[in-house]
Amino acid sequence: MKVNPQQHTYAGDLSGQSQSAATCRKLVVLYGIGGLSDIGRHAILAALEKQVEHITVITEYPDMLDDENWECGCTNGHTNPFNDEAHESKLTMVKIDSWKNEHLNLSEHFHEADAVISCLGHRQPGWKNKELINKGLVASDGNKQVIRAMEEANDVSRVVTISSFGLNRGDKAWPHWASKLMRLFFLTFMRKARKDLQAMEKLFYESSLDYLIVKPVGIGEDVVPAGKYFLQEPGEEAVGGNMAKIDVARFMVDEAIQPTIVRGSKVVGSAPGTPMSG
């Protein structure tokens, strides 16, 4: 739906769950741990909303789908979609041990897929999750294998992946004071996350794939879904600073199914004026 044209932003109306996915037969979704990776879990639900015929999920952490709290503000919590009789026939789980290890037959899971959604990134300080300290960051290592698997499959090229604003010096993609603050964080106690995400982005830039790098604003755990998203356009008012993870996931699924941004990146946020806190 259109918003005030003076803002020159637009929003996807995501309130309904009856919208069909145009010709999307198969979607591959990857998720890890941490705030950005949480969007991957929500992408499974967003794809089911869009009536994607089949979803293959690849992750190190399938048990995370059993958590009632997906670190989000979604009402009524969550249940594992694999345990829902209405969805179980549409879902395939592929568990891997670690993205630090090579997975030589990974491409078999990408055959005949229409698109891929990869949420392996992380931008929180490592000490907030012991698993990150033990296993390390995997945005680069994991997506390197995803890119190779997609190119080997040779019948899927569209991939929508997750990253962050504030990674690079002089980045003005989101004209908001939080960009400078995030840049400071990335230069100090989040250096490893910055290097991992930058390396991941470089892999996509150098690939032959039709990629979109999604850079969400703040994704607070208490943010209630708004049912819409706003894209940052150059020279326009800054999009709002906090949004629900499911709303980011819905944007990613929309772009996976019906691409509008090719081989580029985009900041996605909430309505202009939305504060950083929930």
Q: Are 242 and 223 in contact (CB under 8 A)?
A: yes
The answer on pLDDT for 227 being more than 80 is yes
**Banded model confidence at residue 123, pLDDT cuts 50, 70, 90:** confident
Residue 5 confidence (pLDDT): 27
Place of tokens 């989101």: 174
Helix pair angle (191-205, 177-187), 10° resolution: 100
Residue 172 confidence (pLDDT): 84
CA–CA gap between residue 167 and residue 221 (Å, rounded)? 22
Q: Are 78 and 63 in contact (CB under 8 A)?
A: no
Residue with more model confidence, 1 or 207: 207
Q: Are 172 and 129 in contact (CB under 8 A)?
A: no
CA–CA gap between residue 204 and residue 199 (Å, rounded)? 9
Lowest mean per-residue pLDDT among 15-19, 52-56, 195-199, 247-251: 15-19
Residue 21 confidence (pLDDT): 47
CA–CA gap between residue 69 and residue 54 (Å, rounded)? 25
The answer on pLDDT for 168 being more than 90 is no
Q: What is the value of pTM for the model shown?
A: 0.91
Q: Are 39 and 119 in contact (CB under 8 A)?
A: yes
The answer on pLDDT for 111 being more than 90 is yes
Percent of the chain with pLDDT over 70: 88
Cβ within 8 Å of residue 148, ≥6 positions away:
106, 107
* CA 128 to chain centroid: 20
Question: Rounded to whole angstroms, what are the CA distances from 129 to 19, 54, 87?
Answer: 36, 31, 31
Give me the sheet containing 230-231, strands edge to edge. Answer: 91-95, 54-59, 26-31, 115-119, 158-162, 210-216, 264-269, 230-231
The answer on pLDDT for 219 being more than 60 is yes
Q: Are 269 and 244 in contact (CB under 8 A)?
A: no
Tell me what the pLDDT averaged over the chain comes to.
88
